[in-house]
Amino acid sequence: MQNSNNRGKRSKGMAIVLTTLSMSLILPLMGLGFDVSTLYLIRSKLSAAADSAALAGARALAQGANASAQEANAISTAQTFFSANFPTGYWRSTGSAATVAVDDTSTANYRVVSVTASVQAPLYFLRVFNQQVSTVQVASKAGRRDVMLMMVLDRSDSMNGVVAGTGQTACALMKADASAFVNYFAPGRDQLGLVAFGSSVFTYQSSTSFTTPDANGNTIQSLIAQITCGDNTASAAAMASAYAELQRVNDRNRMNVIVFMTDGRPNGVTANYALGTVNGNCSLPANTNGVIAQWAGGAVTSGTTAGVMPATTTSVTFPGGSSAISGSRNCNFDADVTTVYKDIPNLPAQDAFTNLTSGPYSNQNSAVWPYNTPFNAIGGVSIPQQIVIASTNAVDNEATQIRTNTTLNPFIYDIALEGDGPVSDQPDTMLLRKMANDPSLAADAGIGGTFYTQQIHQPHGYFAEAPDASQLAVAFNTIATQISVRLAQ
């Protein structure tokens, strides 16, 4: 019994010794873990604040009348964002500071905002080694590439609908939001131009001094304010006009961009109709370019079609939709554009910009519009659906032509303005995503994934959706932030 008691006492003594030794190891490890966790939390917050500051600063490079003002604005904005995102005394840290610098000389047409931030993080366990604080430092960079950008704005008749809850038409809201979009870009650095389209296309040549009135007293923003809506949707012609301006400027240092906003399906074919079959005594000069459109409001096989209407206009307020092209002789459409099918029965094989009117949408089964009807040019002028299919194929082929320019590497950014009109007249979101080559196509199990695979090596733009015109500003803002500002590696 005595030996048993002694063994018990010795066991208890060993347990006390082992526990003491274990605690001498566990407690320091716990303390060190707490210090490490604190440093991790502070560093994560500091890094996020530096990233947000760099991005905000890069965006702010668009604000200011000249390079010096833009740089000062970028530094001030970055400092403000850093302070807002890293509160003083976060986890009892002290001495938080951020240094902001702008580099606009290392790379042509590219500016970098650098943010270096540091803070003194408190230590707890390590104080036993006379270490009270640890310096945490992070760095972040955001780059802003100058752009050569063409805005392409739909001014068709459907834009005249009043948006619920606003008391304004979609056209009025579009003009206000598109004008505000211009403010995201820097005069003297970025180069901007404008295309406004219905059936006829208005083009305003790009300039780096886009906020300074031209010889006629116009700026991009003043012209946007003058836009009147009331016409069809010749999307391919509008995209071709924007692309022609990119090619004219031929700037390989800037990021070449087309921003395309529409509220409906393409429904106008711009072509040289003198090259087609013309009935009876109707004759057209050899260089006759014009537009044939459908006026059926989303109807499929029956309804009004119209043409031939002017392909271009020199006025942003040109109403379009009713004036026959000049130079026709003895044609029914001279007096009544809705009788064009009597003069020109067939749709052309290609439009005025060499885009085929046949293509992926000739036999595409769509849940929202019957593209499953094969494209048939013969007699197609009298069939609204055939004009829409031909117009859709033409703009899709034009977008492919743009994206495959390996010299300029243009990017397409699309905005779909939706509303309460008939489903058959709503924007085709699949078409717009394909035109932009939006990365979201990769996740599509159906035809979207096929399109993505076919276009995977082409520039990837972005598609933004506005459920109605009251939310159009958000779409424009999203596009603006997607275009030229990126965190740098």
Token digits for 162?
Answer: 């009043």
Q: How far apart are alpha carbons 328 and 274 in whole angstroms?
A: 10
What pLDDT, on the 0 to 100 scale, is given for residue 394? Answer: 95
What pLDDT, on the 0 to 100 scale, is given for residue 25? Answer: 52
Antiparallel, parallel or unpaired: β 255-262 and 411-417? parallel
Handedness of CA 229, 233, 235, 237 (dihedral sign): negative
The number of C-alpha atoms within 13 Å of 45 and in the hemisphere containing its C-beta is 20
Antiparallel, parallel or unpaired: β 110-122 and 133-145? antiparallel
Q: Which residues of the chain have pLDDT under 70?
A: 1-34, 126-129, 276-277, 298-299, 319-323, 361-372, 420-424, 488-489
pTM of the full predicted structure? 0.85
Q: How far apart are alpha carbons 36 and 24 in whole angstroms?
A: 19
What pLDDT, on the 0 to 100 scale, is given for residue 38? Answer: 87
Q: How far apart are alpha carbons 88 and 42 in whole angstroms?
A: 12
| Alpha-carbon Rg for the chain in angstroms | 31
The number of C-alpha atoms within 13 Å of 483 and in the hemisphere containing its C-beta is 32
271 phi, psi to nearest 5 deg: -155, 170
What pLDDT, on the 0 to 100 scale, is given for residue 280? Answer: 75
User: Which of 67, 80, 157 is closest to 425 using CA atoms?
Assistant: 157
The verdict on whether omega for the bond into residue 308 sits within 30 degrees of 0, i.e. cis, is: yes
Tell me the domain boundaries of the chain: 2-145, 147-267+352-487
What pLDDT, on the 0 to 100 scale, is given for residue 29? Answer: 45
Residues listed for the chain: 489
What pLDDT, on the 0 to 100 scale, is given for residue 37? Answer: 86
Let me know the angle formed at the C-alpha of 226 by 225 and 227, rounded to the nearest 5 degrees: 95
Q: Which CATH class is domain 147-267+352-487?
A: alpha beta
What pLDDT, on the 0 to 100 scale, is given for residue 162? Answer: 86
The verdict on whether omega for the bond into residue 138 sits within 30 degrees of 0, i.e. cis, is: no
What pLDDT, on the 0 to 100 scale, is given for residue 27? Answer: 46
Query: Do the beta carbons of residue 134 and residue 39 sit within 8 Å?
Result: yes
Query: Do the beta carbons of residue 253 and residue 108 sit within 8 Å?
Result: yes
